[in-house]
Structures are given as structure tokens and as C-alpha cells.
């Protein structure tokens, strides 16, 4: 991953978590916002996380230089992301936000087309990514049509849209990066699509069962760090609990589950080549803070969620600082090392 790409993704991630922390304190009563302002900023938080951080990180982490797009793609993508989020901040799902999001979607589809050979050559994780993106894109017209006519249906389709991206793109990229053994094609893609439907429509919750089973087997068999194994096992067991309706399928559960998945197994796995440079104590503290924050969200404890969210942001800053320090030391060592074969 190039330094410029890493910096852009890191900036988007930082903005996302800081805005999320601001919204957590707003829900705790420490910040006053109008209801419309809160809704608009929540859209910014969610979409910036996906547009600016998670999907670019997944693509670059999984494919590296092989996934590179034409040079002009990055600035065009950046303009579309900025336009979309200015639109979300000002008026929610207005003309500017829709126009920017359409540009983002067009680049996602272009990237998927460029990697279409994965459908034939890719392993059981990555082969479905170029298919999952068009499937997610197909949800967008339905969201637009139902947004005002049937807001509840529109919200369900949005959940499925986000879930296709999480299960169809982010999860495969994360498990590919850490070297987890892939299932046979097309098992994971079918499980991901079924799971996305289940997460959008509670009545079909049993469709999430294949996701839980595949992730459970993968987590138990993968040659990965014990902390990552624990996170993926928690992800699998959480999916099983949702499939069996052992936990309520309400908004708090959905928000808590999404934050745990993104900040836990997905982010740490996709960024593992960098994260493994961080001392294990900091990594464990991060996981504990994320788990506590998500637990507080699930239990409808806004003040605790905001407090633990503050710890998450602080630990992110510590982790990034340690990674940057490690990179600087490595760069200095390479610069000052004598030429190969030269003896002092």
C-alpha cells in the first residue's frame, strides 16, 4: 500500500471515529443537536466509514498493486466522496449526496470490472468480491424508490445493502489478508448474499446460519493470532445468535454488531501487516474498549458508550502513533544501512 493511499485511508478513518465519538456524546446529552442535524451527521459518519476508509482499505489490502486503478481514478473518487459528504451534512439524502454517491458507486463498479478475472481465478474468498459490488449496487434504486413511500422497507434494504458490502467484500478481504483457508467457490458468496438478506429482513433470520457456520469453522482452523481468532469466533457466534433470534433484532443490536465487526475483526485483520507492529497489550486494550463500547450500545447506556468510545479513539491514536514510529525507524535504518557487500 502506497504512503499516499495509507494517509488518505487513515484520514478518513480518523474523521469517521471522531465524528462517531461526537455523536456518542450527543446521545449522552453532552452536546446539543437538532434531530435533523443528528440524522445528517449520522449519514456522514456511516458513509465516510464505508466510502473513505473500509472499502478502499479492503481493496488495497487484498490486491495491493495488482488492484491499482488508472491514475485519475483516485482524485475523481476523492471529489465524489467529498461532494457526497458535504451533501449528507447539509441536507441528508439530497441531490448533492446522491450525485456524489453515484460517482462513488461508478468507481466501485469500474474497480469490480477491472478485477472480473477473480470470478474465474480467485480463491473462495476473493472470487465473489467483483460480484458482490454489483449486487449491492442493485439495492440503490430500490432504496431511492421506497425512501419516501415506505421508509421502513427502505431502511431494511439499506441494511441489506450495507451487509452485502460487509459480508461480500470486507470479510473476504480481511480473511484473505490474514491467510485464512478459503471455502470452496461459491460457498461464501452464497452465504454472504443470504446473510445480507437476513440482516435486512428479520423474518428471514435463519438465512444468516451459513455465515455463522463458515466463519466458525474458519476461525477455528485458521493459522492466525489468538486475538484475531477470538474476534472472528465472536463474529461467528454473534451471527449464530442473530440467526436463532437469541438477541433482539432492534436498532441498538444492529449498531452494536456493526461497530464490533468493523472495529474488531475486520479492521484489525485488513490492517494486520501494520497492526502486528503494535504491542500486544495495546491491541488487547483496543479490543476490550471496542467490546465495552458495543456492549454499552446494546444495553442502551449512552454515557458508558461515549466514555468507552473515547477510550477507543485514544487507543487508535496510540496505535497509529506506534505504527508511524515503527515505519520511521525502519525507513531510517534502510537509509543509513551500508550498501550490500560493503564492510565498515
* DSSP string covering 221-237: HS---HHHHHHHHHHHH
Arithmetic mean of pLDDT, 158-171: 92
Of all residues in the chain, what percent carry a pLDDT higher than 70? Answer: 93
Report if residue 13 sits inside a domain: yes
**pLDDT classification of 253: cutoffs 50, 70, 90:** very high
The answer as to whether 79 is a domain residue is yes
Number of residues assigned to the chain:
344
pLDDT bucket at 344, cuts 50 / 70 / 90: very low
Local confidence band at 332 (pLDDT 50, 70, 90 cut-offs): confident
Q: Which of 123-127, 182-186, 241-245, 269-273 comes out lowest in average pLDDT? A: 123-127
Least confident span in 56-65, 75-84, 320-329: 56-65
* Average pLDDT for the chain: 88
Query: Is residue 107 included in any domain, yes or no?
Result: yes
Grid cell digits, residue 311: 477510550
Distance of CA 124 to the CA centre of its chain: 20
Domain assignment of residue 96, given as a range: 1-114
Has residue 256 been placed in a domain?
A: no
Confidence grade of residue 142 (pLDDT, cut at 50, 70, 90): confident
Non-local (6+) Cβ contacts of 22 within 8 A are: 31, 41
Q: Rounded to an integer, what distance in angstroms lies between the CA atom of residue 257 and that of residue 8?
A: 26
78-98 average pLDDT score: 88
Residue carrying the nine cell digits 438477541: 247
**Per-residue pLDDT at 127:** 83
pLDDT of residue 339: 61
- The sign of the torsion formed by the CA atoms of 324, 330, 333, 337 equals negative
For cell 458508550, the residue is 305
User: 301 in a domain, yes or no?
Assistant: no
Query: Residue 305: what pLDDT?
Result: 96
CB 341 within 8 A of CB 31: no
The one-character DSSP state at 181 is: P
Region 2-8: mean pLDDT is 75
pLDDT digits (tens, 9 = 90+) for 61-86: 777 655 567 778 888 999 999 999 99
Would the pLDDT of 167 be above 90? yes
What is the model's pLDDT at position 282?
Answer: 95
Give the separation between CA 291 and CA 77, rounded to whole angstroms: 33
Given a cut of 50, is residue 103 above it in pLDDT?
Answer: yes
In a domain, 287, yes or no: no
The single residue listed with the C-alpha cell 525502519 is 330
41 within domain boundaries: yes
Name the DSSP letter for residue 327: H
Angle among Cα 149, 153, 157 to the nearest 5 degrees reads 120
Q: Name the pTM for this structure.
A: 0.89
Q: DSSP assignment of 61-127, as one string?
A: HHHGGGG---TTHHHHHHHHHHHHHHHHHHHSSSHHHHHHHHHHHHHHHHHHHHTTTHHHHS-TTGG
* Structural domain count, the chain: 1
Burial of 269 (0-12, 13-18, 19+ CB in 10 A): buried
Classified as helix, coil or strand, 266 is helix
> Mean of the pLDDT values across residues 244-251?
89
Query: 247 lies in a domain?
Result: no
Residue 334 has pLDDT above 60, yes or no: yes
* Digit-coded pLDDT (tens) for 212-241: 999 999 999 999 999 999 999 999 999 999
**How far is Cα 265 from Cα 166, in angstroms, rounded to an integer?**
12
Question: Rounded CA gap, 35 and 12, in Å?
Answer: 25
pLDDT at 172 over 60: yes
Amino acid at each position: 500500500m502506497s504512503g499516499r493511499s495509507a494517509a488518505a485511508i487513515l484520514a478518513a478513518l480518523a474523521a469517521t471515529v471522531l465524528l462517531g465519538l461526537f455523536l456518542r456524546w450527543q446521545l449522552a446529552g453532552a452536546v446539543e443537536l437538532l434531530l435533523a442535524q443528528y440524522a445528517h451527521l449520522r449519514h456522514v459518519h456511516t458513509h465516510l466509514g464505508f466510502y473513505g476508509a473500509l472499502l478502499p482499505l479492503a481493496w488495497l489490502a487484498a490486491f495491493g498493486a495488482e488492484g491499482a486503478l488508472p491514475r485519475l481514478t483516485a482524485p475523481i473518487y476523492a471529489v465524489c466522496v467529498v461532494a457526497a459528504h458535504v451533501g449528507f451534512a447539509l441536507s441528508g439524502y439530497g441531490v448533492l449526496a446522491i450525485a456524489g454517491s453515484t460517482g462513488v458507486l461508478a468507481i466501485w463498479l469500474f474497480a469490480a470490472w477491472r478485477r472480473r478475472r477473480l470470478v474465474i481465478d480467485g480463491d473462495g474468498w476473493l472470487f465473489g468480491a467483483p460480484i458482490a459490488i454489483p449486487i449491492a449496487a442493485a439495492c440503490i434504486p430500490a432504496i431511492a424508490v421506497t425512501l419516501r413511500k415506505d421508509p421502513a422497507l427502505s431502511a431494511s434494504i439499506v441494511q441489506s445493502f450495507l451487509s452485502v458490502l460487509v459480508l461480500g467484500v470486507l470479510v473476504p478481504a480481511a480473511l484473505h489478508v490474514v491467510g485464512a483457508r478459503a471455502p470452496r467457490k461459491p460457498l461464501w458468496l452464497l452465504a454472504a448474499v443470504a446473510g445480507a438478506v437476513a440482516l435486512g429482513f428479520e423474518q428471514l433470520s435463519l438465512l444468516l446460519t451459513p455465515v455463522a457456520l463458515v466463519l466458525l469453522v474458519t476461525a477455528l482452523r485458521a493459522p492466525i493470532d489468538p486475538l484475531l481468532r477470538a474476534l472472528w469466533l465472536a463474529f461467528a457466534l454473534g451471527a449464530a445468535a442473530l440467526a436463532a433470534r437469541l438477541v433482539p433484532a432492534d436498532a441498538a443490536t444492529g449498531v452494536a454488531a456493526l461497530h464490533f465487526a468493523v472495529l474488531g475483526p475486520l479492521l484489525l485483520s485488513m490492517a494486520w501487516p501494520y497492526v502486528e507492529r503494535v504491542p500486544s497489550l495495546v491491541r488487547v486494550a483496543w479490543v476490550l474498549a471496542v467490546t465495552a463500547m458495543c456492549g454499552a450500545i446494546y444495553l442502551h447506556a449512552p454515557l458508558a458508550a461515549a466514555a468507552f468510545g473515547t477510550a477507543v479513539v485514544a487507543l487508535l491514536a496510540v496505535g497509529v502513533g506506534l505504527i508511524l514510529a515503527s515505519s520511521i525507524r525502519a525507513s531510517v535504518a534502510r537509509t543509513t544501512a551500508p550498501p550490500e557487500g560493503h564492510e565498515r
